[in-house]
Structure 1
Amino acid sequence: MNIVFDLGAVLLTWEPVPLVQTQFAHLAPTAEAAHALARQMFHHEDWLGFDRGTHSLDDAIGRMALRLSLPVDRLEAALAPMGERLEPIAPTLELLDQLRARRDAGEDLRLYYLSNMPSPYARVLEVRHAFFRWFDGGIFSGDVKMIKPQPEIYTLLATRYRLAAEQTVFIDDSLPNVVAAREMGWHAIHCETPSAVPAQLAAYLPVRST
């Protein structure tokens, strides 16, 4: 069985609303305002192009500053150190560790990641977090110039690592990304609560011998 993890909000913290509330408190006096600003910042081509690797962080900041009338220095303070801010989520990291142990003990399990992640952040994360060495492979969007839910990025992962669709389970916090995986013929889990993922995944895993 191939198990494919998203990273942000699955294995690593990704909390744009608290980030906005911390860095732009004067523009986000209420939870509703903070959610709105987070959507404007991170669900727009200014940010998605950085995710995709088609423009740099400086470009993303410049575009965002102009479009949203935000100060460049505050955007730099919020966005430049993002790779250092993303921390492991305990339940799913423990799950990944357990799966690694089962694989290393001889079970037919393979572990991959498929993440919308800009290349500068990806390089920081690879150095900071030893668990990247547990994977059998993976793809960061910024390295391949495409992002989920584009079907091409799923196809690239499947082709690169010879993943059979019916033997692949994908875990992501974004419902559109989950839907795209299912359209590829993969099994998929919508991660709404990381602590629930181990039980959700258990249905797909081979039965362990006693």
Structure 2
Amino acid sequence: MKIINNIIFDLGGVLIDWNPEYVFLDAFDGDREKTTWFLNTICTSDWNENQDAGYPLQQATEDLVAEFPDYEKYIRMFYGDWPKMLGGSIDETVSIFKNLKQSQNYKIVALTNWSSETFPIAKKRFDFLDWFDGIVVSGEEKVRKPFKKIYEICLNRFDLKAESTLFIDDNLRNIKAAEALKINGIHYKSPQQLKNDLKQFNILIS
């Protein structure tokens, strides 16, 4: 069995509930179909990920307004109301993180796709972000998952050996990219599933 000395957590969708639907379901009067269409067609995840890689939020907004002027009001809401997209912490996963931290058996860091302009909002809201031994924020590095460079930044900055490192992320694309670099991966789906999968690496959560 592999010996794990280091653990890398993703943040959004693993430890923090983030969802643009919190803003747009309200904006579209609870119309889920319209909300889904808007987020799949106008303010898409690909568009948002470009800001995760360091593109300025204001410029991204103006670019999209120029492309879809009829939706200007809603486009401006994406970053204008961004704090409302932050739900709470995913408490059961935070409890797992706390258990791992208190064991003092692992170096634990975070690797997140997040705009450097909005990440300070999360830092103020979630105390557990201070528990990490370090955090790599894609917007600060100007590169995001699943690109090889950001994993190498994380490994090198915190002196992590890929083979003894475990990466936890809710996006399978990001897990596969990590595994291509010999980093062990767990595709996160729920706290209970995470607990079960950690056992495969001889990591037991009380």
Q: Using structure 1 for the length normalisation, give the TM-score.
A: 0.84
Cα distance between partner residues in 1 of 2:36 and 2:191: 21
Report if aligned partners of 1:171, 1:190 keep a CA contact under 8 Å in 2.
yes
- Give the CA RMSD over aligned residues: 2.2
CA contact (8 A) 2:20 2:85 kept: no
Structure 1 unmatched ranges of 5 or more: none
> For 1:117-128, what aligned pairs fall within 5 Å after superposition?
117-128=114-125
Cα deviation, residue 71, structure 1: 3.7
C-alpha offsets along residues 156-180 of structure 1, whole Å, 9 cap, x if unaligned?
1001111111111111111111110
Tell me the residue number matched to 2:165: 168
C-alpha spacing 1:29/1:205, structure 2 compared with 1 (3 Å): same
Distance 2:162 2:95 in 1: 25
Query: Match of 2:27?
Result: 23
Amino acid at match of 1:2: N
Aligned pair count?
199
Superposed counterparts of 1:33-112, under 5 Å: 33-40=34-41, 41-44=43-46, 46-53=47-54, 55-69=55-69, 71-83=71-83, 85-86=85-86, 87-103=88-104, 107=105, 109-112=106-109
Q: Kindly tell me: are residues 143 and 205 of structure 1, through their superposed partners in 2, closer, same or farther at Cα, counting changes over 3 Å?
A: farther
Q: Letter of the aligned partner of 1:65 in structure 2?
A: V
Which one of the candidate residues 6, 9, 13 is aligned to 2:10?
6
Verify the 8 A CA contact 2:23 2:84 in the aligned structure 1. Answer: no
Distance 1:193 1:16, change over 3 A: farther
How far has the Cα of 1:110 moved from its partner? Answer: 1.1
Look up the SS of the partner of 1:120 in the other structure. coil
Give the match for residue 201 of structure 2: 204
Quick one: distance in 2 between partners of 1:203 and 1:19?
38
User: Normalized against structure 2, the TM-score is what?
Assistant: 0.85
Secondary structure, counterpart of 2:186 in structure 1: strand
Instruction: Return the alpha-carbon distance in structure 1 between the equivalents of residues 162 and 70 of structure 2.
Output: 44
Cα shift readout 1:92-141 (whole Å, capped 9, x = no counterpart): 111111111111xxx2x111110000012111212221111110112010
Q: 2:113 aligns with which of 113, 116, 128?
A: 116
Residue identity over aligned pairs, in percent, reads 26
- Tell me if the contact between 1:112 and 1:135 (Cα under 8 Å) persists in the aligned partners: yes
Of 149, 152, 156, the residue aligned with 2:146 is 149
For the residue of structure 2 that corresponds to 1:13, the secondary structure is strand
Aligned to 2:187: 190
Q: 2:19 touches 2:85 (CA, 8 Å); kept in 1?
A: no
Structure 1 residues 89, 159: closer, same or farther in 2, change over 3 A?
same
> How far apart are 1:89 and its partner, in Å?
0.6
CA contact (8 A) 2:21 2:85 kept: no
Distance in 1 of aligned mates of 2:202 and 2:107: 11
Question: In structure 2, do the counterparts of structure 1 residues 70 and 139 end up closer, same or farther at CA, with 3 Å as the change threshold?
Answer: farther
Separation (CA, whole Å) in 2 of partners of 1:124 and 1:30: 27
